[in-house]
């Protein structure tokens, strides 16, 4: 008995000593936060043939690391639940360096090398820029503890590989545009362009993915010839205002001066009758189209007065686009005027003052769209507009559907959450306002359907099989 107790005592003493040692070691060696470094090389590649632009060295390129852009959770939810609607948002579609402060910055050495140190592990966007040499985005740069190289990133991340197979990143001289260009022109991959005055293309124009096109505030770009654009998953053209492009301090979206418009004239022709894969931001009148028989798809219009305008044409389809934060009080994020046989389908429209405005259009169809947080009117049909709004969702609209003038609108199979679901009225005396609203779900704080006439104006409506959404008791 005495021998066993002594052995147990010795074991207990040894364990106590080991425990004290472990505690001492842990207290004397606090955990160090892990960080990573990023090294790479940027080259200034003068591919213009103009020897006067040859760089002396590759120094002075600003290399700025940015935290990921905050993706809109509401749009992500729609992307997840309805992947057939709109554009699936990513860092490539949402990031704009002007709207953030950089996390880390440095300048390149004469040989083009650079190092960013002390980076918390995670995913980032990398921006390289130099006055006269444009801006280049590298998305989803992954930083781990220790040393990271841009060469390894380029090999692993196809979203920003420079497509030439090189491990370095290249910047090219900015091409300045103004006046009339009659010969064929290509906006090349990873190149930057600036329209310093109004620019008109009378020859063929090709838009390549990852081209960066800047238009000076209050200036416009017009196309009159053949137009070809990317499609599918090949990447996006960035079309935006040139304002604050080389800035490394944050700007409010409202402070960025807007370019005027990008107009495609009636005589313009489009490869495969398609215009697609353009990210348009910070414009007054956005993209203006007057060409018949065109399909506009996979586009994003944001932070503009108007996003897309379709005028005096027919058989145009706008599909699978995002229209975000347009603020014109009279026009829409998408505006159609004097058109016939148009379709707006599979769109995500959020945060606009007016979502879709249709003025004097025949057979104007709005179908399978998702509207959210509309400040004024989600769908605005006025004067002698005829058409339908079907299978759409309206979430937190002020007025979901505004039908006025001599317009005739069919509303069916919609889920409507709004202050006023359907507002029907005559704009002038002695005209008739008419609508049909069947098989819809209404969840409206003021009126599901509101309709009235002016003096002796007649109004007609057909509204059956509609349902009021009843909330569950608390």
Is pLDDT at 354 greater than 90 in this prediction? yes
Class of CATH domain 36-67+103-171? mainly beta
Weakest mean pLDDT among 157-161, 293-297, 314-318: 157-161
Residues 6+ apart with CB under 8 A from 175: 48, 191, 192, 193, 194
Top pLDDT among 24 and 389 is at 389
Interval 14-22 mean pLDDT: 54
DSSP state of 259: B
Is pLDDT at 42 greater than 90 in this prediction? yes
Strands 36-44 and 113-119: antiparallel
Handedness of CA 178, 183, 189, 191 (dihedral sign): negative
Q: What is the pTM of this model?
A: 0.88
**Consecutive H or E run containing 471:** none
Is pLDDT at 250 greater than 80 in this prediction? yes
Span 83-138, pLDDT tens digits: 999 999 999 999 999 999 999 999 999 999 999 999 999 999 999 999 999 999 99
pLDDT at 127: 97
Confidence band of 315 (pLDDT split at 50, 70, 90): very high
pLDDT at 467: 78
Confidence band of 11 (pLDDT split at 50, 70, 90): low
Q: Are 225 and 204 in contact (CB under 8 A)?
A: yes
Is pLDDT at 28 greater than 90 in this prediction? no
Rounded to whole angstroms, the Cα distance separating 203 from 28 reads: 73
Span 406-461, pLDDT tens digits: 888 999 999 999 999 999 887 655 566 678 899 999 999 999 988 876 555 555 56
Q: Are 396 and 415 in contact (CB under 8 A)?
A: no
pLDDT at 4: 44
pLDDT at 460: 59
Strand order in the sheet with 122-130: 104-107, 62-66, 122-130, 134-143
Q: Which of 384, 463, 386, 389 is nearest to 431 (CA)?
A: 384
pLDDT at 151: 81
Rounded to whole angstroms, the Cα distance separating 373 from 300 reads: 17
Q: Are 375 and 401 in contact (CB under 8 A)?
A: no
**Consecutive H or E run containing 22:** helix 2-28
Top pLDDT among 323 and 21 is at 323
Is pLDDT at 175 greater than 80 in this prediction? yes
Is pLDDT at 166 greater than 70 in this prediction? no
Rounded to whole angstroms, the Cα distance separating 220 from 205 reads: 15
Residue matched to tokens 């009636």: 266
Strands 122-130 and 134-143: antiparallel
pLDDT at 38: 96
Weakest mean pLDDT among 129-138, 163-172, 180-189: 163-172
Rounded to whole angstroms, the Cα distance separating 366 from 409 reads: 10
Q: Quick count: other Cβ atoms within 10 Å of Cβ 139?
A: 21
Interval 169-192 mean pLDDT: 96
Interval 317-341 mean pLDDT: 97
pLDDT at 164: 42
Top pLDDT among 158 and 58 is at 58
Span 459-469, pLDDT tens digits: 556 777 787 75
pLDDT at 248: 95
CA distances (Å), origin 307, targets 48, 283, 325, 453, 459: 33, 8, 9, 33, 33
Top pLDDT among 380 and 166 is at 380
Residues facing residue 415 across a β-bridge: 393, 441
Top pLDDT among 168 and 256 is at 256
């Amino acid at each position: 008995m005495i021998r066993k107790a002594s052995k147990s005592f010795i074991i207990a003493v040894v364990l106590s000593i080991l425990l004290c040692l472990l505690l001492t070691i842990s207290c004397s060696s606090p955990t160090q936060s892990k960080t990573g470094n990023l090294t790479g090389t940027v080259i200034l590649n003068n591919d213009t043939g103009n020897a006067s632009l040859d760089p002396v060295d590759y120094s002075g390129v600003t290399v700025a690391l940015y935290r990921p852009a905050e993706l809109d959770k509401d749009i992500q939810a729609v992307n997840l639940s309805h992947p057939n609607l709109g554009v699936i948002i990513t860092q490539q579609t949402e990031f704009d360096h002007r709207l953030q402060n950089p996390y880390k910055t440095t300048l390149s050495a004469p040989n083009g090398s650079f190092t960013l140190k002390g980076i918390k592990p995670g995913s980032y966007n990398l921006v390289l820029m130099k006055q006269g040499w444009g801006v280049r985005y590298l998305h989803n740069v992954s930083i781990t503890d220790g040393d990271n190289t841009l060469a390894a990133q380029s090999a692993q991340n196809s979203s920003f590989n420079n497509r030439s197979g090189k491990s370095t990143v290249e910047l090219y001289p900015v091409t300045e545009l103004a006046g009339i260009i009659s010969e064929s022109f290509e906006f090349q991959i990873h190149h930057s362009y600036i329209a310093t005055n109004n620019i008109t293309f009378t020859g063929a124009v090709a838009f390549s993915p990852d081209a960066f096109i800047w238009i000076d505030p209050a200036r416009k770009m017009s196309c009159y010839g053949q137009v070809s654009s990317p499609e599918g998953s090949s990447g996006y053209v960035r079309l935006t205002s040139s304002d604050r492009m080389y800035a490394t301090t944050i700007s409010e979206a409202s402070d960025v001066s807007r370019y005027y418009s990008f107009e495609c004239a009636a005589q313009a022709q489009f490869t495969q009758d398609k215009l697609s894969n353009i990210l348009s931001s910070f414009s007054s009148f956005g993209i203006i189209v007057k060409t018949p028989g065109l399909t506009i798809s996979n586009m994003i219009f944001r932070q503009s007065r108007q996003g897309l305008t379709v005028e005096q044409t027919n058989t145009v389809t706008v599909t699978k686009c995002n229209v975000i934060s347009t603020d014109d009080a009279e026009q829409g994020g998408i505006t159609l005027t004097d058109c016939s046989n148009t379709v707006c389908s599979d769109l995500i429209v959020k945060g606009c003052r007016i979502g879709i405005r249709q003025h004097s259009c025949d057979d104007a169809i709005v179908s399978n769209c998702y509207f959210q947080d509309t400040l004024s009117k989600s769908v605005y049909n006025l004067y002698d507009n005829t058409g339908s709004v079907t299978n759409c969702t309206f979430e937190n609209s002020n007025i979901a559907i505004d039908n006025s003038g001599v317009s005739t609108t069919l509303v069916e199979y919609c889920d409507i959450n709004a202050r006023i679901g359907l507002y029907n009225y005559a704009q002038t005396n002695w005209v008739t306002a008419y609508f049909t609203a069947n098989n819809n779900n209404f969840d409206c704080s003021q009126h599901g359907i509101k309709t009235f006439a002016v003096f002796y104006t007649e109004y007609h409506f057909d509204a059956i099989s509609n349902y009021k959404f009843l909330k569950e008791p608390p």
